[in-house]
Amino acid sequence: MLETRPLTPRLGVEVLGVDPRAAIDGETAAAIRAALDEHSVLLFRDAAMDDETQIEFSRVFGDTEVTLKANPAGGTPFARQSNLDIESGEIIPPEDRRMRYQKGNYMWHSDSSFKAVPSYCSMLTARITPPEGGNTEIASTRLGYDTLDAATRARIAPLEVEHDIVYSRGLTGNVLTTEMKAQTQAVRHRLVRINPANGRHSMLIGAHAARIVDMAEDEGRALLDELLAATTRPEHCLSHTWRDGDTVVWDNRACVHRATAYDTVKYRRLMQRTTISGSPATIQSL
């Protein structure tokens, strides 16, 4: 059984006594996955990762996705979250398209909900962290669902939501090229999801949720905003202050998350994310 310490009263635990860089046996791997099912967010401290060890630890959860071309690490298993040029290591100017693209990370979202196979979980490792700012905030859509009244739960039970990265990145300006837009297409997912391990309900919402299928645009947007507001109440959230060597894993089936600002001109920051593929839940591609 894993030794853990709560991060908040209702969301997330720090896992103690497990070095994610070491070989993980089958029993420990199963316990880690069970802890993710139960707590939605796992923190591993003081275990500085490189790319090889991160890929190996990601296999505890499943197969990694290949990142879209829009990310600086596109075509690899990594999504690079950084203000540093991938070749020179120099700070990227704020007006550069790569920095404007990353503004989308400041919106509440679930990684890869715009893909036909939605993500199981994400793993973010801290390689270089600024001395202030740059927290990652995570909110539980499971706790958000639990606060809904019976009428709202019945209303959303049959609904389908169209998820589209072209829509979400459009909210921050025209940052996707024609080639990038051609790499993806809108997909439909059920709004309400049920974790088969424990029967808990959650919601697939966030910035990539463009519209509710077969619902008037204004009505659908109002409902999605209402569900996100219920999810992101302070008591449903945690804010993680990063330090070098941290690894955080969150369940994309039961969480939304967002980055917070830091001084991208003054400070250097490098985070590497791997996203682990889930099981198909898409109703259809559009």
Angle (nearest 5°) at CA 71 between 168 and 175: 45
Element spanning 124, H or E: strand 119-128
Residue 71: pLDDT band with limits 50, 70, 90:
low
Instruction: Flag whether 285 is in a domain.
Output: no
Tell me how far apart the 2 most distant CA atoms of the chain are, in Å: 55
269: CATH: 3.60.130.10
- The answer to whether residue 86 is domain-embedded is yes
13: in domain: yes
- Asked if the structure places residue 177 within a domain, the reply is yes
Give me 24's structure tokens: 């993980």
Q: How many angstroms separate the Cα of 274 from the Cα of each of 9, 83, 166?
A: 27, 18, 21
Task: Report how far apart, in Å, the C-alpha atoms of 53 and of each of 42, 64, 87, 140, 274 are.
Answer: 17, 13, 21, 28, 11
- pLDDT for res 278: 87
Domain that holds residue 28: 3-277
Residue 15 within any structural domain of the chain: yes
Who wins on pLDDT, 279 or 137?
Answer: 137
The tens digit of pLDDT for each residue in 19-50 reads: 999 999 999 999 999 999 999 999 999 999 99
Classify residue 154: in a domain, yes or no.
Answer: yes
| pTM, full prediction | 0.94
Question: Does residue 56 fall inside a structural domain?
Answer: yes
For the chain, the domain total comes to 1
Structure tokens given for 121? 């979980």
Q: Is 286 among the domain residues?
A: no
Tokens, residue 192: 């309400």
Number of separate helices (H) and strands (E) present in the chain: 8, 16
